[in-house]
Amino acid sequence: MPQRTIRVFMLVLFVVTSMSRAQSAAPKPAEAPAAPPAGHMHGGSAPGGPSGHMAGLPKAAPADVASPDAVITAFYESLAGPAGKKRDWNRFLSLFYHGARLLPAEGRGHSGTMPMDFTPHRYLFDTEPTMLESGYIPKEVARRSETFGKILQAFSTYEVRHAAADDKPFVRGVNSFQLFFDGKRWWIYSAIWQPETPKLALPDALLHP
């Protein structure tokens, strides 16, 4: 083989080898992160942004959200239970609109650990241990409501016992519910409650239906 041909061949081989090494050393493009599981709940919404305004919340039973009376009844029923009984927290959460807030108007709530303003999820996280240990059976004893169009404001007087057989409730107070109708169902948008205290007794007007 002529010497010039050998030099050309060696040059081509060098170029091809250099290109191959450069491609091997180049960093691979980063892979896109896997999408989160559909419907994964995290603080009431799906990670990465909700796919809808109610993404991540349990679906309500139609009977629980058909009317203001049904929503408020479901609220109390989903919390009620003797010591040691697990509650249906999906039912409770399904009653609240996305971004709903709860607020004890006085004190830090019955568990002693709740923040002053919190989500339905946080409410359950903070109160479940006490409910399971001591029992928590709320009962609505009276209600006063005002409504206009698709909104309703309810003053719901409640009393709570540790066990259904207890003669007296260990706490009484008033829940103030703000509800609205979206054309298909009723939602709880906010709930604020004022417990009765030694200096603040429930008036007769709030103790009778």
Query: In CATH, what number is assigned to the domain containing residue 174?
Result: 3.10.450.50
Please indicate, yes or no, if residue 198 is contained in any of the structural domains. yes
User: What confidence tens digit (pLDDT) does each residue in 163-173 have?
Assistant: 999 999 999 99
What 8-state DSSP symbol labels residue 189? E
Please indicate, yes or no, if residue 47 is contained in any of the structural domains. no
Look at 51 and 181; give whichever has higher pLDDT.
181
Alpha-carbon separation of residue 44 from 29, 50, 85, 107, 115 (angstroms): 34, 10, 24, 25, 18
Coil, helix or strand at residue 71? helix
Nearest Cα residue to 177 out of 93, 64, 95 = 95
pLDDT band at 162 (very low <50, low <70, confident <90, very high): very high
| Distance (Å, whole) CA 162 – CA 171 | 10
User: What confidence tens digit (pLDDT) does each residue in 91-144 have?
Assistant: 999 999 999 999 998 865 555 665 578 899 999 998 999 999 999 999 999 999
pLDDT attached to residue 185: 98
Tokens at residue 75, please? 């609220």
Alpha-carbon separation of residue 47 from 24, 53, 84, 157 (angstroms): 36, 13, 32, 37
pTM of the predicted protein model: 0.71
pLDDT attached to residue 188: 98
**Residue 110 near residue 175 (C-beta atoms within 8 A):** no
Please indicate, yes or no, if residue 6 is contained in any of the structural domains. no
Which residues span the domain enclosing 72? 62-206
Q: How far is CA 181 from the centre of its chain?
A: 19
φ/ψ of 51, rounded to 5, equals -85, -10
Structurally, the chain folds into a number of domains equal to 1
Please indicate, yes or no, if residue 3 is contained in any of the structural domains. no
Across the chain, mean pLDDT equals 79
Please indicate, yes or no, if residue 51 is contained in any of the structural domains. no
- The rounded percent of the chain whose pLDDT value lies above 90 is 62
User: What confidence tens digit (pLDDT) does each residue in 55-68 have?
Assistant: 467 999 999 999 99
Please indicate, yes or no, if residue 156 is contained in any of the structural domains. yes
Please indicate, yes or no, if residue 132 is contained in any of the structural domains. yes
pLDDT attached to residue 106: 82
pLDDT attached to residue 116: 73
Please indicate, yes or no, if residue 144 is contained in any of the structural domains. yes
Least confident of 6-15, 44-53, 165-174: 44-53
**Exposed e or buried b per residue across 87-124, where buried means at least 16 C-beta atoms within 10 angstroms of its C-beta:** bebebbbbbbbeebbbebeeeebbeeebeeebbbbbbb
